[in-house]
Chain A
Amino acid sequence: MIRTEELLLNVGPQHPSTHGVFRIIVKLDGEVITEATPVMGYLHRGTEKLAENLNFTQIIPYTDRMDYVSAMTNNYVLCHAVEKMMGLEIPERAEFLRLIVMEMQRIASHLVWWGTYLLDIGAISPFLYAFSDRERILGLFNELCGARLTYNYMRVGGVKWDAPEGWIDRVKTLVKDMYNRLDEYHNLVSGNEIFLSRIKGVGQYDAETAINYGLSGANLRCTGVQWDLRKAEPYSLYDRFQFDVPVGKNGDCFDRYQIRMAEIEQSLRILDQALEQFPGDGETMGKVPRVIRPPAGEIYVRIESPRGEIGCHIVSKGKAEPYRLKFRRPSFVNLQILPKLLVGENMTNLVTILGGIDIVLGEVDC
């Protein structure tokens, strides 16, 4: 008799396709996964606990480091929560700047996803194509706030810097160029038959499962649920602009791919309108008390980050530091469906599915 046994394979924490220090223990029957156990926490830095001893201005640089691919939205969710708690008025120019950088960040974040996803699937060029364009966005952020990744740009009540001379025009050129670049991206891989056969029908789930697992962002919209907080619960100035929420219908990796690519296009649309309506002058900082002390109470604020619904729950006792701060991190929540999706899949599909979820380990472990 031939005896077969299952192979216990430890994928990660150092593995090229886990996008950071993430570990999955998979049981393999041949190359088919029979069980998958994700292990996370290798990048846990205790942001939420540290925040309890920091005042709100000091927490902002910590949020940069949660989802380091999309630091602007993290900045925003914290500032937005505090502002809402204190009932602060934000000057329009500041709000415009926030919205513009958040949409640029969404494009940059999706570009990183696009490049690394294709790298997971085995194509090496898209990664460098995407990064050469993301570089331009980071360069613009660098001009705006002096950093390329950890911006620390927003403050409670406004933004730290006004746009420098000519910055808005440079963003306009970028938006114009991005439309062409997007076409080139589609030419490069979106039609490639090998790529399509790799992602079509892989990692499929339906709307009910997605909602039960609490998925958000493209992971939810790929099942056909039209849920984008920018539309559903407009924050910032999103209710002023025309844009669509792309949805899929099959809930597979292909739909997630298409949605993210379409979202770049929609972000460009929003940017087009926002740059057109950008107010000529005005304050970038609202009237904020010297010490930020939100009134006692609690608040939960959620916005749409590139990865899904990012939420910030603040419990305040009326002090300058939060009594308790909790972030709902979309990567962490979206990742929970992984063990369910992996069972019965091929080893190769592990990276396709994991990449399709779009996690950032800084955010998963927080």
Chain B
Amino acid sequence: MQHFWDKSLSWGTAGIFVAAAIGVLAVVIFFVTYAIYFERKFIGWMQYRKGPNRTGPLGLLQTVADVSKLLLKEDTIPKKADRGLFILAPALAFIPSFAVLAFIPYTLNLQFADLNVGFLYYIALSGITTIAIVVAGWASNNKYSLLGGMRSAAQMISYEVPLVMSVVGVVMMSGSLNLRDIVISQEGYFWHWNFLPQILGFGIFLIAAVSELNRTPFDLPEAESELVAGYHVEYSGFRFAFFMLTEYIYVYAIASLTTILFLGGWNSPIPALDFVPGLIWFFLKFAVIVFCLFWIRATFPRLRVDQLMGLAWKALLPLAILNIFLTAIGIEWIG
């Protein structure tokens, strides 16, 4: 893709961009459909259940049926809601989530846009989704939504700090913010991947990432048992589907990001296995991370708000800073 960016924009290149964007959208929607399916299947199996098995063979069309139902649903907007913002919020949440996918390098050459500040781009855009969630909570004019929205804002802002800090170590080791360069710097055996030298950063990144995703055990903004559904209490039908889609696209983004930053991207664990295409390695690592998210969701209870904040500021942030110092010392001494 990169050489198209270097040319001046013409109708032809614009058409290619649009086609590629639609391609990415299709891949992502396919992922979301089956991520939801497998999430329900895995959690079902972990709970002595069979999971969805009625719609289509093995229940494979369950998500399709659910989405069609959401699309056919009556679109309700509460009378006292702030109409403009209420309509805006789902779109505002979705657009950045889709835009962050542009920079992910799946293999050496398969990448939509090669940005020099790849990781910062992700952080910058994903912050907009937080605003969308606060807007949704506010515009619904519902007290549960408002509490959920406020929690979400506090949580996302707090956890972005350790998330960024934990990656600084990786950036220092590879000397670049460009995600492609970060993957290239991890070539070799699997112990060259960043997750071993950066084990502390990896741990912090995982915790902060799960929190950024608003998933168990950090799903406070939509804590079902106390806030009913949090910021999307009043949303139904298509607008709700957009929030759902956003959430799962971020799962996709975070899983890709973890693969790239810490698990060597498309690199094979040992050079002898290089004959397997890089895309398959990428997908395998990606799938393991997504599975872990489901697995955690099936097992863990939820944290409390004050504990959540305490964890971010009192534990993760100091550790992330420590990690930066340790990395600096490591680079200085070992090289």
Contacts and interface: CB of A to CB of B under 8 A. Distances in A.
A–B contact via C-beta, under 8 angstroms: yes
Interface of A: 7, 9, 15-17, 28, 31, 118-125, 128-129, 132, 188-189, 192, 194-195, 197-198, 346-351
A15 B144 CA distance: 11
Contacts of A123: 216, 299-302
Interface residues of B, number: 30
A346 B46 CA distance: 31
Interface in B134-162: 143-144, 147, 151
B298 interface: yes
Contact of A122 (B48, B49, B216): B216
Nearest to A348: B304
B133 interface: no
Contact of A348 (B143, B144, B223, B224): B223
A198 B225 contact: no
Contact of B299 (A119, A121, A125): A125
A1 to B, nearest CB: 21
A122 B305 contact: no
B113 interface: no
Given A16-B224, A125-B46, A189 B306 contact: no
Contact of A17 (B47, B225, B307): B225
A15 B307 CA distance: 24
Contacts of A16: 224-225, 228
Given A125-B298, A195-B301, A198-B302, 6 more contacts: A7-B143, A122-B219, A122-B223, A124-B298, A350-B226, A351-B226
Contact of A194 (B47, B217, B225, B297): B217
A350 B225 CA distance: 10
B125 interface: no
A129 B49 CA distance: 10
A63 B231 CA distance: 41
A225 to B, nearest CB: 28
Which of B48, B220, B301 has the most CB atoms of chain A within a 10 A radius of its CB? B301
The 6 A-B pairs with the shortest beta carbon distances in the complex, nearest first, are A122-B302, A128-B47, A123-B301, A121-B301, A17-B225, A122-B301
A346 B48 contact: no
Given A16-B228, A119-B225, A189-B301, A197 B48 contact: no
Contacts of B43: 124-125
Contacts of A189: 301
A200 to B, nearest CB: 11
Given A192-B301, A346-B304, A122 B46 contact: no
Contact of B301 (A28, A31, A132, A198): A198
Nearest to B217: A194
A128 B297 CA distance: 14
B232 to A, nearest CB: 15
Contacts of B67: none
